[in-house]
A and B are shown apart, each in its own frame.
Chain A
Amino acid sequence: MLIGAFGAAVGTLHTHSPWLGSAYGMGSGVALAAVYALFVIRLRADQIVAGMAINMLAMGLTPFLCKILYDQTTSTPAIPLQQQFQSAPLYLCWVLVAACALWVRYTPSGLRLSFAGEHPEALDAAGIRVNRVRWIAVLISGALAGMGGATLSVYLSSSFSRDMTSGRGFMALAALIFGKWRPLPTAAACVLFGFTEAVEIRLQGHSVWGGHEIPVQFIEILPYVVTILVLAGFVGRSRPPKALGTAFAPGGFGA
């Protein structure tokens, strides 16, 4: 997401169009995802360790590239208002959620995707190359994360600033667990997180206005408290796909 935000900001500055800029962002996301896939699928490294390494790589690479391109590390130059997205990401994200939900549930390729994470041996027995499916999945997720990052820098803001994702990626991961690894519940979880963050912002505005002042810190913990309450109370057991986190080696026929 971070490198997508950077790529999109650079792209929009370069091409003066938010859509083309997002393409740059998605491309950056795919490139970084390819590095991750190489280590995790091909070389079978530990996924969590590799994930953290990719995170740190992005956090260091983005200000570095920013310095090379624009001679400053804090942020890219501002994108004029007309060249930002006006409201497209708001609708696009729901289109993508719907497309994803339908694809995973009702198409053969979507089913193969589920199997690649749930029961890769069965897929292998059916003659489908599991690692190929996983590669494609990682690359697509890189593109989508890049698009998410583009939304940050070209829609919600007017430039890329250092570390601007501020843990949103981890919240997305939490939403995934919350949503039991299914598209629509995960989207609902994301909406919940967004809602609590919005409430936090509006509530802050009234805390000094009313009779008593609610400390900023209390309001800031609201999203996390809501998360814990809902997780503990309503979600029930969240079971990850069985083969999540384990690399797959096609049995008996070499790597």
Chain B
Amino acid sequence: MRKLSISAAILMTLTMLSAPALADFKVGLVLDRGGRDDKSFNASAYEGASQAKQKLGIHLKYVEATDENSYEPLLRAFAQKDFDLIIGVGFAQKDAVAKVAAQFPDKHFAIVDSEVDLPNVRSLMFEEQQGSYIVGAIAAMVSKTGKIGFVGGMDVPLIRRFQLGYEAGAKKINPQITIFSNFCGVTPEAWNNPPKAKELALAQYEEGADVIFAAAGASGAGVFDAAEEQKKLAIGVDSNQDWTKPGTILTSMLKRVDLAVYATIQEAQVGKFTGGLKRFGLADKGVDYSVDQYNDKILPESVRARADQLKADIIAGKIDVPDYYKQH
């Protein structure tokens, strides 16, 4: 009996020590395949949330989904544990978020890269085709061989959107340009398969491409390896990846998932959460291309000037960037 009461006391103390203060705003983050440290998409989402943790003092808990069936239980667990804001990162979680949000109408949800039409869900979508257009133009400007490449992750409409924008931007600069396009796979494993991505990139470089845009999540590391080995260039995606291999990464197509996540948390915390669709594009710096000390020397001023001009034209509506979502 004594052992029981002692262990009960210990258990209670531990629970009390680990429970956050009642006033804390609790945010649950369900990350996609590729993990928190994919240095790309999920990393950006996590970065936004941890910025919120630092600056706004929220209580953050993140989980990494290991397969498609785990999204729903993870989201539901957050809802059942009384989390204030639950964020599903990635289009793959669309159905899971729709289901769980419908079951918990008084909880707030957010989803990245997809649209869920419920009043308690904020959908965060990005104009990837605009950002891809710009880096396509950059690739075409920098390419000496007139051949560039694209390595996508999973063959889904989202990545086709990147591809279409990329090709359009490149053809704007050089209508005769040759573009090689490959996908790492057709299942979510494609987001975390660097050896496959490396083989695809090597094949493209051997065909003459000298710049490859990697839109493949954690698999992009394979493309960068190939670029380094062949002493050619690559373009990163989502997060700023220029630092991973300075001198080899020409630029990165920034998708400011971090800003979107941060803004959502901030608004929800002060009670200003709104459902509905929020689009982020070039105009509000939701997508952009990166310039920093790691690609400063390899991205010429003239290229940047032209890229900025194209940016302004797109924002002003003078250029119509083809959008895979609209065409299909």
Contact = CB atoms under 8 A, between A and B. Distances in A.
B37 A216 contact: no
B29 to A, nearest CB: 14
A158 interface: yes
Given A74-B218, A216-B155, A158 B225 contact: yes
Contact of A74 (B38, B180, B189): B38
B186 interface: yes
B31 to A, nearest CB: 10
A158 B221 contact: yes
Residue among B35, B155, B185, B222 with max Cβ neighbours from chain A (10 Å)? B35
Interface size class of chain A, counting residues whose CB lies under 8 Å from the partner chain: 20 to 34
B221 A205 contact: no
Contacts of A124: none
Interface stretch (B87-95, B198-206, B260-268, B284-292): B198-206
Interface in B175-208: 178, 180-183, 185-186, 189, 192-196, 198-200, 203-204, 207
B323 to A, nearest CB: 19
B221 A201 contact: no
A72 B178 CA distance: 38
Contact of B195 (A157, A198, A217): A157
A205 B185 contact: no
Nearest to A73: B35
Nearest to B179: A208
Contact of A216 (B183, B196, B198, B225): B183
Contacts of A157: 194-195, 198, 221-222, 225
Interface in A213-231: 216-217, 220
Contacts of A81: 225, 228-229
Contacts of B218: 74-75, 161
Nearest to A162: B192
B156 to A, nearest CB: 11
A7 to B, nearest CB: 17
Contacts of B199: 198, 201
A220 B178 CA distance: 24
B188 to A, nearest CB: 11
A162 B35 contact: yes
B35 A72 contact: yes
Contacts of A202: 203
Contact of A205 (B36, B38, B204, B225): B204
A162 B38 CA distance: 11
A204 B155 CA distance: 12
A106 interface: no
A2 B196 CA distance: 16
A163 interface: yes
Contacts of B64: 73
Given A74-B218, A81-B229, A166 B189 contact: yes
B34 interface: yes
Residue among B199, B218, B229 with max Cβ neighbours from chain A (10 Å)? B199
A156 interface: yes
A101 interface: no
Contacts of B35: 72-74, 162
Nearest to B217: A74
A162 B189 CA distance: 10
A100 interface: no
A93 interface: no
B186 A204 contact: no
B145 interface: no
Given A163-B192, A217-B186, A204 B200 contact: yes
B103 interface: no
Residue among B37, B64, B178, B180 with max Cβ neighbours from chain A (10 Å)? B37
Nearest to B43: A74
A158 to B, nearest CB: 5
Interface in A138-162: 152, 156-159, 161-162
Nearest to B39: A74
A198 B196 CA distance: 10
B34 A205 contact: no
A74 B198 contact: no
Contacts of B38: 74
A157 B181 CA distance: 21
17 contacts: A73-B36, A73-B37, A74-B37, A74-B38, A157-B195, A157-B198, A158-B225, A161-B193, A161-B194, A205-B180, A205-B200, A209-B180, A216-B183, A216-B185, A216-B186, A217-B186, A220-B185
What are the 9 tightest A-B residue pairs by CB atom distance, in nearest-first order? A74-B35, A72-B37, A74-B37, A156-B195, A157-B195, A158-B225, A216-B155, A204-B182, A157-B194
